[in-house]
A and B are shown apart, each in its own frame.
Chain A
Amino acid sequence: MSGAGQSPPAPPSPTDALFRPVMAALLSYWLRQPLQLLTLVLGLALATALWSGVQAINAEARASYARAAAVLGQDQRDSLVPTVTGGGVDLTDFVRLRRAGWRVAPVIEGELPPDIGRLSVLGVDYLSLPPPDATAGEAQGVIPGEEAAPTYERAFAAPETLATLAPTARAALPPLAPSDMLPPGLLLTDISVAQRLLGRPGAIDRLIVLEPPAVWAPPLETLAPGLRRVAAGSALDGAQTGGVGRLADSFHLNLTAFGLLAFAVGLFIVHGAIGLAMEQRRGVFRTLRALGVPLATLIAALLVELLALALVAGLLGVAMGYGVAATLLPDVSATLEGLYGARIAGGLSFRPVWWLGGLAVALLGTLIAAAGALAQVVRLPVLAPARPRAWAMASRGGHRVQALAGLGLLAGAAATARWGAGVLAPLAGDQPGRLLAGFSLLAMLLLGAALLLPTLLGAGLSLGHRLTRWLAPGPLREWFWADTRQQLPGLSLALMALLLALAANIGVGTMVSSFRQTFTAYLDQRLAAELYVTARSDAEARAIAGWLAGRADAVLPLWRAEGRVATPAGPRAATIYGITDHATYRRNWPVLTALPDAWDRVADGTGAMVNEQLWRQDGIGPGDALNIGGAPLAVVGVYSDFGNLEGQVLISPPPLRARYPGAEGRRLVVRAPADAVAGLTARLRQRFALPPAALIDQAALKARSLRIFEQTFTVTAALNALTLSVAAFAIFTSLLTLSQMRLPQLAPVWAMGLTRRKLAMLELGRSVLLAVATFLLALPLGLLLAWVLLAVVNVAAFGWRLPMQLFPADWAILLALAVVAALLAAAIPVRRLARTPPTTFLQVFAHER
């Protein structure tokens, strides 16, 4: 199409010739603005790190659960378990079944005494159920010097478990070999070895069905009426594993929510950095367009640029996330094990899928954060003014829309709190429905508040302005308020990030502290007795009780049966306890609500106390009649019950034993003077040859529970600190970029006689003022967040509700942290300002058009 009058030396090749110089022009911007580049990359990397770190922890935990479920293919095989809880499988039953054509393998399981090591033992018959890699083990991984041991004497454990075993433990155990197939914390041995280790010779806990019984085999009921068949997957103590699964899921859900929040905070940074880069390059875009770069080429180049940056930041972020996960994993695994008995590996393995996932999240996040800015470039007329407007200077209308959207979200949150569970329940089943409602409530609350923030801060600042004019007028003071208000649009994204981080901090902190305090008080109530004894049989329990009679203040037998109670939603599994009436219960039990004569009625066998779970989830409360084991009893009270998912009922022993003839009475609750406990324990152990686990003294139990809590605390505290530092980083970058645009605003004030030092101090003051104002708004938001977590999410996930407690000392610390973060964030930009040479200020006037 060029005319013949002029023949260009090189015919323009279509896209490539265009693309490269355009790309070079765009990228050159970052070379000239290294700090901005760093902000963008680091912001995105931080966001990705927190997100993928949490994901790594979750993935590792899930892999551990899967391994645990799949040991010996138990997730695919049915089991035969005793119908009576606590009872074992009779050897005669086993033999009869085998003879009758049932292919079953005996299993025993239990915990090793703590002095050997914290290990679960699973004993199986190696002959009928060979260990996972017995042969492979012989070839490669057997520990040197132990090659001679015959396979059936060998014990297998995951390599990481072997690595943590103390030499004393090794001495007490049979020859060990590593196996990758086993979950952490589990020792697999032949059944005879396990019986010896656990001190239960000849005992069998259950039978694994290896193959369906032969067609001619008589049915189970006639062969072994004391056994019932349990479907694959629910084999391991059905109630317990199901519970662990759900509880642990809930924990992971919380972690994921935290990761998502942190990622969102990080995206605020990225959004800001990209918006700034676009705004500052308006002139470049105009020049490029004027010189003949088609819009499509420009957009394509911008996309390539963004994706390249996202890729670099994503790689960095995933690597950092790996570090976060590796640091947190030991605490997380300790928490999970302590709280829910779920064991996960303490080490992190490399998962390509997870790396790719992290990268994808970084790319996606960048695109989301850049969408607005790119749309603006598309709409930008070729002849748009070249001078960058003040960054992110949203119009007044935009502000109003944003505030309205915020109000709408808050209204939605209120509606969800009121009706959400009901509306969502049919969609997702009852419990997940409530959880979903809880989390949507959280999301709406946080986002709504963030959107309202600029408007609220703006109102607060103009109030400050007016008050100043009225109470202490002065040109400089008034200018300070007005100027701060003018900075608001540029800082609002960062302040939103700060708001979210602070609110999350207050909310999660309040929840954990409330939980901790309530839990400690609860432990004091529930563990009022000094010593808890679990005998190996009812007879032994009677003997121990007899021996203790003259030596302790009181010995209270505790009966227990696994049963079902009738709820409006159908029968529900519950543990029924038969308690011996005593002041120990009457004085200390954490009763939430009860009829006046509740304990008397429990004592005389006409009343039952139910736990919080049955009350909150199934609506069974005082005044109701509860069908327990086929006959009704009046519910006379409700008590709180943390750390438990299942229903629980307290009645007196006679009605329990009438309903459940097989109820076990192996436990004793012992009251004794605190200084006598140690002596009693030692003599009991000696006299009855009790294993260490049979005697639990209250002080030790409390100490252990609290230790678990501290670990949970560590994880939350670490995530909190990380989120807060991301927010501080967001403020830093915003201030830094704003400071580059502030010269024209500051130059006139400087020219009128304000020193640079004074200007710098004012800038610092502004930063602190905004941080404090944001904190004041974050406080109620955080408390609201805590309330949702405690009263909605917890009830939905666990069935217990925690009383919310306030911790003003924590707030003071957080406020101090926020101020320090603001000061640190402002430090570099302010230093720059204080050192700006006067000629630079003068240039502002020279360039003024």
Chain B
Amino acid sequence: MLLEGRDITKAHGTGEGRVEVLRGVDLAMRPGESVALTGESGSGKSTLLHILAALEPADSGHVSLGGQDLGKLDDRGRAALRRRDIGLVFQQFNLIPSLSVADNLAFQARLAGRHEPHRIAALAERLGLTSTLSRYPEQLSGGQQQRVAIGRAIAARPRLLLADEPTGNLDEASADGVLELMRELVAETGAGFLMVTHSERLARRLDRRLRLHAGRLA
């Protein structure tokens, strides 16, 4: 198993404002598998994704990535895991505004110690970003920015790519293009791919669909 979660619970807030978002989530993913995570707004999709990405700890339960128990890691260990094994794409604000597109693309790979200039050049080509390499994020359209974020995640060769509504800001055609790219790249590297989406249409194009409802996966 690439990713395993058992009986994950998580609550936000304290006292009266306390919301039990996840109430015992179980899931498992194999390498190379692509999974869509759907659910109503506020159902806890982002929360679950953050836990799987080692951004936030679960309140209870067990999460392991490639056999590594996330619960046993400190800040340094979780950071190392994110750096080397996880690729993340959010809905927006993914990029470092003061770095050029080229630098943004190479950034995580450099952090992970896997910087291969040829590969990044090839990726930029695939993503249609070659002409924008020396520009800055603010000079790109929303779709272009998302493609940079995807390229950055893929370039670091993660074992698991996690994306939270990566196409939420894009029109249908761009969204399809971006998703297609992600699927292809993931397939090439053999990584697992979990994507949160509201769109049934996009969800249908992945291997498997999970639905979060009332704090559990269905």
Contact = CB atoms under 8 A, between A and B. Distances in A.
Contact of A32 (B75, B84, B116, B136): B136
20 contacts: A2-B85, A5-B66, A5-B159, A5-B190, A12-B84, A12-B113, A13-B113, A17-B111, A22-B111, A28-B98, A28-B99, A283-B93, A287-B94, A292-B112, A295-B75, A296-B76, A297-B79, A382-B55, A382-B56, A383-B55
B83 A12 contact: yes
Contacts of A292: 79-84, 86, 108, 111-112
A386 B82 contact: no
Contacts of A301: none
Contacts, number: 114
A222 interface: no
Contacts of B136: 32
Nearest to A297: B79
Contact of A6 (B56, B95, B103, B159): B159
Interface in B71-91: 75-76, 79-86, 88, 90
Contact of A294 (B66, B76, B114): B76
A25 interface: yes
Interface of B: 31, 50, 53, 55-56, 66-68, 75-76, 79-86, 88, 90, 92-99, 103, 107-108, 110-116, 136, 157, 159, 190
Given A383-B55, A383-B56, A289 B112 contact: no
A289 B82 CA distance: 9
Interface string A1-26: 11101101111110001101110110
Nearest to B106: A21
B83 A293 contact: yes
Given A24-B99, A284-B98, 13 more contacts: A2-B66, A2-B85, A8-B84, A8-B157, A12-B84, A12-B113, A28-B98, A32-B98, A283-B93, A287-B93, A290-B53, A290-B55, A293-B111
Nearest to A296: B76
Contacts of B98: 25, 28-29, 31-33, 284
B93 A9 contact: no
Contacts of B55: 290, 382-383
A25 B99 contact: yes
B52 to A, nearest CB: 13
**Looking at A13, A17, A33, A386, which has the most chain B CB atoms within 10 Å of its CB?**
A17
A80 B111 CA distance: 79
A510 B56 CA distance: 60
B74 to A, nearest CB: 9
Contacts of B79: 289, 292-295, 297
Contact of B114 (A8, A22, A287, A849): A8
Contacts of B159: 2-3, 5-6
Contacts of A283: 93, 97
Nearest to A386: B93
Interface string A286-315: 111111111111000000000000000000
Contacts of A685: none
Nearest to A385: B93
A61 B10 CA distance: 68
Contacts of B50: 383
A785 to B, nearest CB: 43
Nearest to B31: A5
Contact of B111 (A3, A6, A21): A21
A295 to B, nearest CB: 6
A289 B96 CA distance: 12
Contact of A2 (B84, B92, B115): B84
Interface in A403-444: none
Contact of B93 (A10, A13, A33, A387): A387
A28 B82 contact: no
Interface residues of A, number: 42
Contact of A17 (B76, B97, B113): B113
Given A290-B55, A294-B79, A28 B113 contact: no
Nearest to B153: A291
B113 A6 contact: no
Given A284-B97, A291-B108, A9 B56 contact: no
A287 B96 contact: yes
Nearest to A381: B56
A288 B82 CA distance: 10
A6 B107 contact: no
Interface of A: 1-3, 5-6, 8-13, 17-18, 20-22, 24-25, 28-29, 31-33, 283-284, 286-297, 382-383, 386-387, 849
Contacts of A12: 83-84, 112-114
Contacts of A25: 96, 98-99, 103, 107
**Looking at B76, B98, B99, B136, which has the most chain A CB atoms within 10 Å of its CB?**
B98
A13 B80 CA distance: 11
B56 to A, nearest CB: 7
B111 A291 contact: yes
Contacts of B67: 3
Contacts of A5: 31, 66, 159, 190
A2 B66 CA distance: 8
A25 B81 CA distance: 20
Contacts of B112: 8, 12, 292
A6 to B, nearest CB: 6
A524 to B, nearest CB: 67
Given A9-B116, A17-B113, A21-B111, A291 B75 contact: no
**Top 5 closest A-B pairs, CB basis?**
A292-B83, A12-B113, A292-B82, A294-B79, A28-B98
A20 B113 CA distance: 11
Given A10-B113, A12-B113, A291 B76 contact: no
A598 to B, nearest CB: 78
A291 B82 contact: yes
B113 to A, nearest CB: 3
Contacts of B84: 2, 8, 12, 292
**Looking at A20, A22, A291, A383, which has the most chain B CB atoms within 10 Å of its CB?**
A291
Contacts of B53: 290
Contacts of A31: 98
B8 to A, nearest CB: 17
A727 to B, nearest CB: 30
A28 B103 contact: yes
Contacts of A6: 157, 159, 190
A290 B88 contact: yes
A424 B173 CA distance: 78
Contacts of B93: 283, 286-287, 386-387
A386 B103 CA distance: 20
A382 B67 CA distance: 24
Nearest to A282: B93
A523 to B, nearest CB: 64
Nearest to B67: A3
A21 B110 contact: yes
B168 to A, nearest CB: 10
Contact of A3 (B66, B75, B92, B157): B66
A287 B94 CA distance: 6
A25 B103 CA distance: 9
Contacts of A383: 50, 55-56
Contacts of A11: 113
Contacts of A382: 55-56
Contacts of A2: 66, 84-85, 159
Contacts of A849: 92
A17 B115 CA distance: 10
Contacts of B94: 287
A388 to B, nearest CB: 11
A509 B107 CA distance: 56
A288 B85 CA distance: 15
B92 to A, nearest CB: 8
A283 B145 CA distance: 15
B125 to A, nearest CB: 20
B111 A1 contact: no
B197 to A, nearest CB: 18
A298 to B, nearest CB: 9
